[in-house]
Amino acid sequence: MGYQVVAEYGIPTDEVVEFPLVYHAENIGRLLVAPRSPTESFNPADMQLLSNIANQAGAVLHGVLLTMDLRRSQQQLVSTREEERRRLRRDIHDGLGPSLAAYMLSIGSARASLPDNPETADQLLAKLETDLESTLKEIRRLVYNLRPPELDQLGLAGAIARYAAQFGNGVGPESQSKADGLVINIRASESLPSLSAAVEAAAYRITQEAVATSSVTLMLENANYFWTSPTPCC
């Protein structure tokens, strides 16, 4: 196990005594201590004192590591959110924006053609109708990428069951879907706890990936997905 020096005091030396930093039986670090001079050594009282310090330092270090993990998670969350905003802005700016501008021009052309050439106006409006249908599909895609509507309509278990039903005939929070030799069993608690929107979306996306991977590789004869009520739950 590699270690990184996070704090030191004094002049480094090769003659050191090592005390493990342990938290709940897990070795999370070490305390290296050297005598004051090469001719001195630690007596039993010194060893006991340093051992007690190491025991207390293990709990402190664990708290520091948790704080560092939390900060990294927060930074990752902020980065992910900003990346999603950047992607959404790009989709709107490069996709929806030009499409809506083109529709305005088409409407203007249709209105100009209507008095003298109604057939041309009708053709323009027919094309505009088709283009609007495509734009509506694009808007639905953007909304779906933000948050799958099934989560709000059916809840987490119901949304997963509906997705799995695409690979067979299973519907409902407790169902079975079968496709090409792959059986997907979904079992959920009758009452899942209230989950945050981020947790629901993450769980749904992870299960989507698992189901899609299983259906493509067909390496499993039976795929079981269980959803229970954790306590406590975020």
Q: Are 113 and 95 in contact (CB under 8 A)?
A: no
**Mean pLDDT throughout 43-47?**
91
Domain spans of the chain? 88-146, 150-227
pLDDT in tens, 166-192: 765 444 444 444 445 566 777 777 677
DSSP state of 180: T
How many Å apart are CA 37 and CA 13, to the nearest integer? Answer: 10
CA distances from 88 to 60, 93, 97, 138 (A): 42, 8, 12, 12
Q: Are 27 and 61 in contact (CB under 8 A)?
A: no
Q: What is the pLDDT confidence band of residue 218, given thresholds at 50, 70 and 90?
A: very low
- Amino acid letter for position 44: P
Whether the ω angle into residue 232 lies within 30 degrees of 0, i.e. cis, is yes
Q: How much is the pLDDT for 230? A: 45
